């Protein structure tokens, strides 16, 4: 146990002292700050958009109002006639955001749009406004009953309802969670393999193996780097809780930030932590075995390619099937496959489509798999680290028969 603790402490201290670790930690804190500051930043940009200026050349009999148009978006000027080429030059010189030409055609009106990039937030309200003015003109000339007309023109109210007991913005949270899990497992798992391959290539392993048994050494490295990754995760979540409680940021109703605060409860955060640890442990054990197979770090990329393919395939399944159908058959299956279960269960927890019994069964399956896999690793790993040259997985298996 003492030898294990020495390896564990040494690996953990080395991991947290690297520049890459420091930069990533600072980046995560900055990301949490940006997340809470984003509504205020967007508000600044939205405020700037009110300075946009537009002109509309009205070549019809409709009575348009500059005041009513300004209430739609930006600042408006109505002109009866203008030189189109001069207005184009005003846009190129940034003196005008855009202009429109409304003209009569046979049995219809045509709106010509001149903008560097069509802005639907301006165009759609403008089209609705012109349509209302046209209808009002027809009513005035044809003596149509205004009450009947208002009933016919009553707009349909659309309200998007979530299929699951969560907010629509939770989809962004899900993508963020599984992306963080994917990159954390791949980065820190690769760090485990790199550390083993580096010690093996520099002959440090031959010295260490005389002092520490291979299996405690393997798990000391896995848990040491794992604790370093969890420390970063705690710092990131701690920063989120800090910004949520200090009250220095405005949290608009219905915003992504509000959804994060409502979705990531203490219970959800605990589940995320548990499944992150299990997911990391499953893949880190694989990385440790494959790291023991190579004789130098340069060969690690090709040797660990099967793990990366497996990890990317798991991510693809989550993105293509599980996220869109958290109650589907594929989702139920992937919730009990050790390589996909950590991400699948987290998605179902956020969507509230999984029962406590299903979570317990999934945990039991993964823990059982880890125990089995740990027994296999205990037999394979020592053979790999004692070989000075590179081995294939087949050779490693055969050496343990």
Give the pLDDT of residue 49.
47
For residue 87 the two structure tokens come to: 């207005």
Q: Indicate if the pLDDT at residue 351 is higher than 70.
A: yes
The full DSSP string for 162-178 is -SSSS-TTHHHHHHHHH
Cα 22 to chain centroid distance, Å, stands at 22
- With beta carbons less than 8 A apart as the criterion, state whether 76 and 55 touch: yes
The whole-angstrom separation of Cα 292 and Cα 172 is 38
**Angle of the 170-201 helix axis to the 266-293 helix axis, nearest 10:** 30
Give percent of the chain with pLDDT exceeding 90.
8
The whole-angstrom separation of Cα 79 and Cα 90 is 15
The whole-angstrom separation of Cα 245 and Cα 232 is 20
Q: What is the pLDDT of residues 41-70, one digit of tens each?
A: 766 665 544 478 888 888 888 888 888 888
User: Where are the domains positioned within the chain?
Assistant: 2-41+166-398, 52-147
Indicate whether this model's pTM tops 0.85. Answer: no
- With beta carbons less than 8 A apart as the criterion, state whether 361 and 336 touch: yes
Give percent of the chain with pLDDT exceeding 70.
76
**Angle of the 170-201 helix axis to the 256-263 helix axis, nearest 10:** 70
Q: What is the pLDDT of residues 235-251, one digit of tens each?
A: 887 887 777 777 777 76
Q: Max CA-CA distance within the chain?
A: 102
65 by DSSP, 3-state: which?
A: coil
For residue 273 the two structure tokens come to: 């932590």
The full DSSP string for 46-113 is HHHGGG-EEEEEEESS----HHHHHHHSSEEEEES---HHHHHHHHHTTS-SEEEEEEEETTEEEEEE
Give the pLDDT of residue 362.
93
pLDDT range class, residue 324, cuts 50, 70, 90: confident
Mean pLDDT computed over 215-243: 81
pLDDT range class, residue 312, cuts 50, 70, 90: very high
The full DSSP string for 212-229 is S-HHHHHHHHHHHHHHHH
Q: Which range in 107-121, 334-348, 372-386 is most confidently predicted, on average pLDDT?
A: 334-348
Please give the CATH number for the structural domain made up of 52-147.
3.40.190
How high is the mean pLDDT of the chain? Answer: 79
Q: What are 105's strand-pairing partners? A: 108
């Amino acid at each position: 146990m003492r030898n294990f603790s020495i390896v564990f402490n040494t690996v953990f201290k080395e991991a947290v002292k690297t520049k890459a670790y420091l930069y990533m930690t600072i980046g995560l804190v900055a990301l949490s700050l940006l997340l809470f500051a984003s509504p205020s930043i967007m508000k600044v940009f939205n405020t700037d958009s009110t300075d946009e200026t537009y002109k509309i050349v009205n070549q019809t009999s409709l009575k348009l109002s500059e005041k009513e148009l300004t209430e739609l978006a930006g600042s408006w000027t109505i002109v009866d006639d203008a030189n189109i080429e001069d207005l184009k030059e005003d846009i190129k010189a940034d003196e005008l955001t855009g202009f429109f030409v409304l003209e009569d055609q046979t049995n219809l009106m045509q709106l010509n749009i001149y903008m560097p990039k069509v802005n639907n937030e301006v165009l759609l309200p403008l089209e609705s406004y012109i349509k209302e003015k046209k209808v009002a003109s027809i009513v005035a000339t044809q003596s149509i009953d205004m009450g009947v007309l208002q009933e016919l023109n009553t707009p349909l109210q659309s309200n998007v309802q979530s299929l699951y007991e969560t907010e629509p913005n939770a989809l962004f949270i899900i993508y963020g969670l599984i992306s963080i899990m994917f990159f954390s497992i791949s980065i820190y798992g690769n760090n485990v393999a790199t550390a083993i391959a580096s010690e093996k290539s520099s002959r440090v392993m031959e010295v260490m193996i005389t002092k520490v048994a291979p299996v405690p050494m393997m798990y000391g490295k896995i848990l040491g780097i794992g604790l370093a990754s969890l420390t970063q995760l705690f710092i990131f979540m701690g920063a989120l809780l800090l910004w949520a409680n200090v009250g220095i940021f405005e949290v608009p109703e219905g915003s992504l930030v509000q959804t994060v605060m409502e979705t990531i409860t203490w219970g959800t955060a605990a589940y995320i932590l548990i499944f992150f640890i299990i997911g990391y442990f499953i893949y880190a054990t694989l990385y440790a075995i494959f790291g023991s197979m190579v004789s130098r770090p340069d060969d690690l990329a090709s040797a660990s390619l099967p793990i990366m393919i497996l990890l990317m395939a798991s991510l693809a399944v989550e993105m293509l099937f599980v996220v869109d159908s958290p109650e589907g058959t594929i989702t139920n299956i992937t919730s009990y496959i050790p390589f996909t279960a950590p991400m699948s269960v987290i998605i179902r927890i956020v969507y509230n489509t999984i029962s406590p019994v299903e979570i317990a069964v999934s945990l039991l399956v993964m823990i059982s798999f880890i125990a089995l896999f740990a027994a296999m690793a205990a037999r394979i790993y020592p053979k790999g680290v004692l070989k000075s040259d590179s081995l294939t997985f087949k050779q490693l298996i055969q050496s343990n028969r």
